[in-house]
Amino acid sequence: MKKRQLGTSNIEISDLTLGCMSLGTNAEQGKKMIDYALDKGINHLDTADLYNFGENEKIVGEAIKHRRSDVVVTTKVGNHFQEGKDNWFWDPSKKYIHEAVRNSLQRLNTDYIDVYMLHGGTLDDPVGETIEAFEELKKDGLIRTYGISSIRPNVVREYAIRSSIDVLMTQFSLLDRRPEEAILPIAEENQISVVARGPLAKGLLSNKADEVLDKKGKGGYLDYSYNELKSLYYELEQALPDSSLQQLAMYYVANHPAVTSTVFGASSLQQLEQNIAVHQSINEITDAAYPILQQLTKAAQYEQHR
């Protein structure tokens, strides 16, 4: 795996990130999957306090406790909940962030978090207060750097201007090219690393795309109708027959200059092995594929999907 600098920080992460949300609640299986990923060169694990209401952080913490220095851990904050209860509400206040980070540290069984992200955000939030909280945690050594997970250009722009964030997590795929319109340029202009999630568009760009489409995609996806997706699969196969749909999807996201790492999830060791193998194979795809992929897919705009 290639390692790349995260923003202007001294943190380097692998160009492939394991999204831990899909690990499930079996701690033993989760540990096996995390161990496999780390052994294959992935050093960046992404979790959040809200995933399984704290249980996901506990699984990650247990899996990495004997190799903590080898791992860059990202977790997120802003969804106020109590362990054991399934309800939550949005709370980006300084008070809650200071409370939540200590709970995450305990669940992760560590004394620092590498990357702490705001898990969403709106312009109605007390943005200055939120930024102040993250800066205080950084000064206290509880976090190494911070960022935001968002698909909202106006929110991303606000944090890019007013804070020292090093990382932005956002949804980006061949079927969801909205970030190219505003978010990715903002990140590039401000030396903010992008960690791109959803590269396979909920499975619609996986190697089981036809099956997923027939099960879940009858209503289409963003700007694409069911029939348009069917046609796109055929066009991609005809234009780039030497690469699978999943290879092309991961290649497209990974090769955008703003993207530092691509996040993928896996719910089984077999799926994890397959995803890593596909990622490793995208180096075989030539640069000529990129403009073809841009030509065949739509540059979706945000105002259509707010």
Instruction: Give the residue numbers annotated as catalytic, written as ranges.
Output: 51
β-sheet bridge partners, residue 264: 18
Whole-angstrom distance, CA of residue 167 vs CA of residue 6: 7
Q: How far is CA 34 from the centre of its chain?
A: 16
The DSSP symbol for 291 reads: H
CA angle 51, 23, 168 (to 5 degrees): 55
Q: Are strands 72-77 and 44-46 parallel, antiparallel or unpaired?
A: parallel
Q: CB–CB of 16/42 below 8 Å?
A: yes
Q: What is the CA radius of gyration of the chain?
A: 19
Whole-angstrom distance, CA of residue 296 vs CA of residue 233: 10
Whole-angstrom distance, CA of residue 273 vs CA of residue 148: 29
Tokens of 146: 């911070």
Distances (CA, A) of 243 to 129, 237, 263: 48, 8, 20
Residue 242 phi/psi, 5° resolution?
Answer: -85, -5
Q: How far is CA 236 from the centre of its chain?
A: 25
Q: How many CB atoms lie within 10 A of CB 4?
A: 15
Looking up tokens 């990650």 gives: 60
